[in-house]
A and B are shown apart, each in its own frame.
Chain A
Amino acid sequence: MSTAESTVPVTVLTGFLGSGKTTLLNRILSENHGKRIAVIENEFGEIGVDNDLVLGAEEEIFEMNNGCICCTVRGDLIRILGNLMKRRDKFDHIMIETTGMADPGPVAQTFFMDDEMRESLNLDGVVTLVDAKHVLLHIDDSDEVKEQIAFADVILLNKTDLVTPEALDQLEARIHSMNPAARIFRTQNSVVDMNNVLDIGGFDLDRALEVDPKFMEPEYPFEWSGLFEFQPGDYRIVLKRGPDPAMAMNFRFAAESTESGMRDTVEKAVLVFSGDEVDLQPGAVLEPGEQLSQINLEGDKLEYVLRVPTAGSYVLFTEHHPDEFEAYVCDSDGNHIEAMFSREYKPDHEHDEEVSSVGINTPGDLDLEKFQAWLRELLANQGPDIFRMKGVLSFAGEEERYVFQGVHMLFDGRSDRPWREGERANSLIFIGRNLDRDVLNAGFNACLI
């Protein structure tokens, strides 16, 4: 990207009809934040503020297709922005509003594709508005909603006054699992601090990491584990009905009663969770080992037996968090036993098989040629499914960090600052459809020297 100082930042605003885009635009234009904003709206006249920097656009998709690369750009925007830039001294920031059903891809690609545009403009970020009350009606069926969420740097969960706190929590968790790199704000009437919408540096990977340092962590098939010290005998896990009719569990030995003792069992547990489950009914016995038990959680007296053969340390892995079922462990007298150590894991989201994200976070240096070849192949085959990607890469023989980002088949990057002592590592994220975590990881790792 061209250096920020000499280019005009552009924000792309997306969201369904009724999500509050017009309200937000009106606020941005009338609030006193010291920035002069030019707006390109998809339906001229919607915005109430009188302003000669408000322009209308008619979406014109222009497909660049030479058989190898298929890239769609907004022809009308290229034209309008070209004209707007003749009045460059009159504004500090440009906002482009896309139509409700729009795929933000073509707009973002327009900025990647066009060299002349990149000389004078930089894409600051994609801001997506979501109507918290109505989005659940669309989120499962609508590709457009998923794309708008997947492309976003900032998501405004709007109309929160119309939704219960529990529903909001669930919605936010769902959206976060689709796009963990986006910052989510809860808003009413599109009221939001302008600093969260303008100059957000949406393509700055460091900022994304600030939001949720865990987003680069690998995802696990379980949400909780607890380490217990048991004597020989029968213990019980007691649960209440919760959000799921059944849940997978693994009960196993640990080498010692320490945090690292529990950590050492995680890898094996991941393997167990990828295997076949054995269905168990209340009252059934779990013995420590490699069995993945699917415990039934319908009915009233939900108790399962943990049969302990010898005194020692044991770890229980649960697919969902025990709190969701008010679960606890007790001995044969009914005394509650607390886990000595417990840990929560970033859940492997079950809902969006379609849109998901894959984060890769590994040390090591990349072989430039191998990586280029791998990335080219990946984008050629899966370009349309990869909405966005961004990363910081460590190349063998390079003293500087390499920062890159991409939209579909287009990517761009540059050398950033020199690596600091002990900092060298690769962090990248792919947000898209039908992403195979294992294949992506394997392919990437094969590029390390």
Chain B
Amino acid sequence: MPPAALPNQPGQPQDEEAAAAGRRRSELTMLAFAVGVVAFAYINVGLSMKGQSPGTFVAYIILFAVISGAAHLAVRRWAPYADPLFVPLAMLLNGLGLVFIYRLNQAGVKGNPGNYNLAGKTIPIPTLAADSTTMQFVFTVIGIGLFVAFLVFIKEPRVLQRYTYLFGLIGVVLFGLPAVLPDSLSEVPGTTAKVQIAIPGLGSVQPEEFAKIFLAVSFAGYLVMKRDVLSLAGKRVLGVDLPRGRDMGPILVMWVISMLVLVFESDIGTSAVFMGLFVGMIYIATGRNSWLLIGFGMFVVGAVIAGALISHIAARFSTWLHPFSVANLVDGAQPSYQLVQGLYGMASGGVLGRGLGNGQPFWTPLVQNDLVFTGFGEELGLTGVMALLLIYGLIVQRGLRTALMIKDPFSKLLAGGLSFMLALQVFVIVGGVTRLIPLAGIPTPWLSQGGSNLIASWVMIGILVRLSDMARRPAPKPIQDEGLTQVVSLK
């Protein structure tokens, strides 16, 4: 048998380029598939809600295809070796989110008749603001814009390590800002959560979405510096390697911040993601089980104490355990009404779903935000829900795989941390709305209405694509003409 051509072999540059081009080709094919699914979903909504297919959404499909193409060209030009799955998967999620906002925005035949006439009573059904779909497209364009800008300007992710403390400071400020602002600016209407900054006349920003990215970069830089002392120093107690007391500083600080978020912003979801991100990253950096135990224990103790002291946190546990009780569902403020309506929606979808535009997701309050996953469950069924979870799972898996391939510790930690953070976010919100864990409202990445999360998610994909490009980039080509030194691959 003749020896197979070896890729990445010095002196065979055409093979490397061919391999990169091949990856981009498969990316383009998958991207075309994602655009096709989204286009089909648009047509589906149009047919079932209006009884006709074309309409304004033809423009949406074209615009979506153009945005997807731009993202692909940027990767082709500036990160040619990147994993081909990131952009198509994220684009598919983003597209389905756009379709669902469009779907909720329509009043049509069955799916949202505007008013529901039930036994002689007219029950008004909320629709989203008229410009919701357009705004979501604007946010998508901004997100893709930042994604491209990141690839253009950050060629070498290690430069971010220089700003470890600056990014940490920015992250903490962004995190804490809503807590110190007056309620009128920071409280999300209709809830007790103080997580946004309202800009009068323009809308609102949820700074924590960006804070998480800054903090992930900052944690990576800090932990790379301190990793030796955090992983080795300490003594063994009862079979567990405990770190030294003086090394507990950082985790204590993070714990205090997450508790402050919990108490002052009433946002147990973000608080959990934040703490989980730090604990996950310190574990990846040190490989030390004791950090997991300490971090997890601290968060649980903190949450339990906060639950005992703060009534609305206790109420979350009560609505989780007894959502159908009279006290939670019928009386007073009906704290479990939203969760229960989401569950009814998923149940109504069953295995195959009602079909886009045929369900009644409008019964669920704020279905376009935290509970968007139940809307998908209702209209796409268990089948669609499993597909969405697989897409998220694949993005996380590709991110973790990138982390495994990278040699540079800072980049490795950053890739691992961001991937784990995405997994945590999906777990917290999807687990929350399906009553696996107590419901803590955070956006569902790419799917929920709103710009902050969408833009931050695209920045995260930008970082992962850049890291993946670095990890898969072949070793530098030898300079054959000089003939003196030769780089030898030791594979």
A-B interaction: no
**Footprint of B on A, CB under 8 Å?**
none
Contact surface of B with A, Cβ cutoff 8 Å: none
